[in-house]
Amino acid sequence: MEITQITSWTAIVLIAGIAGIMVVRDKLKSITALSVVLINAVLTSIPAILALTVAPQTGSFAMPHLLSNIVVRIDSLSAWFILIINFTSINGALYGNGYMKAYSELKTNREIHWIFYVIFHISMVWVCMFENGLAFIISWELMSLSSLMLVIFEFQKKNTLKAGINYMVQMHLSVIFLTIGFIWLNIKTGSFDFSALSQLPLAKHSVWIFILLFFGFAIKAGFIPFHTWLPHAHPAAPSHVSGVMSGVIVKLGIYGIFRIIMNLRYDWLLFGEIVLSLSVLTAVYGIANAAVKRDFKGMLAFCTIENIGIIGIGIGLGLMGIGSDNQILAVLGFSGALLHTFNHSLFKSLLFFGAGSVYQQTHTRNIEHLGGLIKKMPQTAALFLVGAIAIGGLPPFNGFISEFIIYSGLFKGLSGFPGISQVVLLILTIAGLALIGGISVLTFTKTFGVIFLGNPRTRLHHEPAETPFIMLLPQYLIVAAMLSVAFFPQFYFNYASKIVASSFHLGNNPLDESPIADNLKYIGLISMVFIGIFILVFGLRWLIVRKRTAILYETWGCGYVAPVVKAQYTGRSFARQFGSLFDFIVRIRKNHKKTQKTELYPEKRTFSTYYSDILEKYVIIPLARRSTFLLNYFQFIQNGQIQSYVIYGLFFIMLIFLGTVLKIIT
Amino acid sequence: MVSLVLIILTSLFFTGIVVRTKSIASGRKGPGIFQPMKDIIRLWKKGSVYSTTTSFIFQIAPSIYIASVLMAILMIPHGNHPGIISFEGDFVMFAYVLALGKFLMIISALDTGSSFEGMGASREALYSMLVEPAFFILIGSFALFTGQTSFHGIFSSLHYGSHISYMLGGLATFVFIFIAMIENSRMPVDDPKTHLELTMVHEVMILDNSGFDLGLIMYTTHLKFAMYGAIISNFFIGVLPLEISIPLFFAVQICFAVVVGIIESFIARFRLGHNPQFIFILTSVSLLIFFGVLLVLGKFI
- Encode pLDDT of B202-237 as tens digits: 888 888 898 899 999 999 999 999 999 999 998 888
Across A524-546, average pLDDT:
93
Residue B105 forms part of a structural domain = yes
B208–chain A Cβ distance below 8 A for any pair: yes
CB-CB under 8 Å, B92 with A407: yes
Helical (H) or strand (E) element with A177: helix A158-189
| A73 strand-pairing partners | A58
Query: Residue A510 pLDDT more than 70?
Result: no
Mean pLDDT of chain B: 89
Query: Least CA distance to B196: which residue of chain A?
Result: A558
From the list A562, A631, A273, A576, the residue with the least C-alpha distance to A421 is A273
Answer whether A110's CB lies under 8 Å from A99's CB: no
Q: Do A578 and B129 touch (CB under 8 A)?
A: yes
Model confidence at A666, pLDDT cuts 50, 70, 90, reads low
- Residue A569 has its nearest CB partner, among B85, B122, B147, at B122
Q: How far apart are CA A490 and CA B132, in angstroms?
A: 27
Domain span including residue B142: 2-28+55-296
The closest CB to that of A431, out of B89, B128, B133, belongs to B133
Is the alpha carbon torsion for A645, A651, A652, A654 positive or negative? Answer: positive
pLDDT average, residue stretch A207-224: 89
Report the SS3 class of residue A610: strand
pLDDT in tens, B114-164: 888 888 899 989 998 999 999 999 999 999 888 888 888 888 887 766 677
Whole-angstrom distance, CA of residue A343 vs CA of residue A286: 18
Residue A116 confidence (pLDDT): 93
**Is-contact B229 B150, C-beta < 8 A?**
no
The predicted structure's pLDDT at residue B11: 93
- Report in angstroms the alpha-carbon separations of A262 from A204, A266, B265: 19, 11, 60
Contact B111 A449 (CB under 8 A): yes
Q: How far is CA B114 from the centre of its chain?
A: 27
Alpha helix stretches (DSSP H) within A453-552:
469-487, 489-503, 516-545
Q: Which chain A residue is nearest to residue B89, measuring alpha carbons?
A: A408
The pLDDT score that the predictor gives to residue B292 is 87
Distance, CA of A144 to CA of A153 (rounded, Å)? 15
Q: How far apart are CA A227 and CA A230, in angstroms?
A: 6
Average pLDDT on A242-257 reads: 92
- Chain A residues with beta carbon closer than 8 angstroms to that of B220: none
- CA distance linking residue A424 with residue B188, whole number of Å: 31
* Neighbour tally for A364: CB within 10 Å: 16
- Window from A255-259, A503-507, B108-112, B151-155 with minimum mean pLDDT: A503-507
Which of B46, B132, B208 minimises the CB distance to A434? B132
Contact A449 B119 (CB under 8 A): no
Contact B97/A530, CB-based, under 8 Å?
Answer: yes
What single string gives the DSSP state of each residue in A103-146?
GTT-HHHHHHHHHHHHHHHHHHHHHHHB-BHHHHHHHHHHHHHH
Q: Is the pLDDT of residue A202 over 80?
A: no
Task: Flag whether B42 is in a domain.
Answer: no
Mean pLDDT of A31-50: 91
> Number of A:B CB contacts under 8 A?
252
Evaluate whether residue B44 is within a structural domain: no
The pLDDT score that the predictor gives to residue A380 is 93
A342 vs A26, higher pLDDT: A342
Per-residue model confidence (pLDDT) at position A66? 61
pLDDT band at A1 (very low <50, low <70, confident <90, very high): low
The reply to whether B214 touches chain A by the CB within 8 Å rule is no
Give the tens place of pLDDT for each residue, B264-291.
899 888 888 888 888 989 999 999 999 8
Closest C-alpha among A55, A515, A510 to residue A322 = A510
Q: List pLDDT tens digits, range A343-353.
A: 999 999 999 99
Give, to the nearest 10 degrees, the angle between helix A398-414 and helix A516-545: 130
Among A467-476, A503-512, A559-568, A624-633, name the one with the lowest average pLDDT: A503-512
In a domain, residue B43? The reply is no
Nearest beta carbon to residue B149 from set A371, A412, A577: A412
Task: Give a yes or no: residue B199 inside a domain.
Answer: yes
Query: Per the structure, how many domains does chain B have?
Result: 1
Task: Report the residue of chain A nearest B149, measured CA to CA.
Answer: A411
- Closest to A148 measured CA to CA, from A134, A128, A133, A163: A163
Is the predicted pLDDT of residue A651 greater than 70, yes or no?
yes
Would you state the pLDDT for residue A513? 54
Q: Which of A222-231, A451-460, B157-166, B249-258 has the highest mean pLDDT?
A: B249-258
pLDDT band with cut points at 50, 70 and 90 for residue A71: confident
- Which B residues, 59 through 98, put their C-beta within 8 Å of a C-beta on chain A? 60, 62-64, 66-68, 70-71, 85, 87-89, 92-93, 95-97
ipTM confidence: 0.95
How does strand A550-553 pair with strand B48-51?
parallel
Contact A446 B212 (CB under 8 A): no
A271 vs A201, residue with greater confidence: A271
Distance CA A573, CA B115 (A): 10
Distance from CA of A473 to the nearest CA of B (A): 22
Q: What's the Cα-to-Cα distance from A177 to each of A180, A216, A344, rounded to whole Å?
A: 5, 5, 26
pLDDT bin (cut points 50, 70, 90) of residue B301 is: low
Measured between beta carbons, the chain A residues lying within 8 angstroms of B137 are 427, 430-431
Alpha-carbon span A237 to A154, nearest angstrom = 8
- Residue B196, chain A, CB below 8 Å: the answer is no
pLDDT digits (tens, 9 = 90+) for A580-615: 889 888 888 888 888 888 878 888 888 888 888 888
Q: What is the model's pLDDT at position A193?
A: 83
Compute the nearest-CA separation of A386 from chain B (Å): 11
A57-64: which pairs have CB atoms within 8 A and are 24 or more residues apart?
A: A57/A3, A58/A3, A59/A2, A59/A3, A59/A4, A59/A7, A60/A4, A61/A4, A61/A7
Residue A591 φ then ψ, to 5°: -110, 105
DSSP H helices in A324-419: 327-362, 373-376, 378-391, 398-414
B46: number of Cβ within 10 Å: 14
Quick one: what percent of chain A has pLDDT higher than 90?
Answer: 47
Establish if B149 belongs to a structural domain.
Answer: yes
pLDDT digits (tens, 9 = 90+) for A149-167: 999 888 888 989 999 999 9
pLDDT for the residue numbered A42: 92
In angstroms, the CA B217 to CA B108 distance is: 12
Within-domain flag for B34: no
Q: How many CB atoms lie within 10 A of CB A39?
A: 17
- Tell me, yes or no, whether B33 lies in a domain: no
Q: What percent of chain B has pLDDT over 70?
A: 98
Degrees, nearest 5: CA angle A309-A313-A317: 165
